[in-house]
Homo-oligomer: A and B are copies of this chain.
Amino acid sequence: MSANSRLTIAAHALAWIGLYQRRGHEVATSEQIATSASTNPVVIRRLLGELRRAGLVESRRGGGAGWSLARELESITLLDVYEAVEPGPLFGMHRATPDQECVVGHGIQPAMQGIYEGIEEGLRRELARVTLEDVLRDVLAASR
Contacts and interface: CB of A to CB of B under 8 A. Distances in A.
A108 B39 contact: no
A99 B5 CA distance: 16
Assembly of this chain: how many copies?
2
Contact of A37 (B39, B94, B119, B135): B94
- Counting chain A residues whose Cβ lies within 8 A of the other chain, the interface size class is 35 or more
Interface of A: 1-5, 7-9, 11-12, 15-16, 19, 35-39, 78, 86, 88-99, 102-108, 110-112, 114-115, 118-119, 122-123, 125-127, 130, 134-135, 138-143
A114 B16 CA distance: 18
Rank and list the top 6 A-B pairs by shortest CB-CB distance, nearest first.
A111-B138, A107-B142, A3-B92, A107-B139, A122-B126, A38-B96
A12 B123 CA distance: 23
A127 B122 CA distance: 10
A98 B142 contact: no
16 contacts: A3-B89, A3-B91, A5-B93, A12-B94, A16-B102, A36-B105, A37-B105, A38-B94, A38-B98, A38-B105, A39-B95, A107-B140, A110-B142, A114-B138, A119-B123, A123-B126
Contacts of A78: 115, 119
A115 B134 contact: yes
A94 B126 contact: no
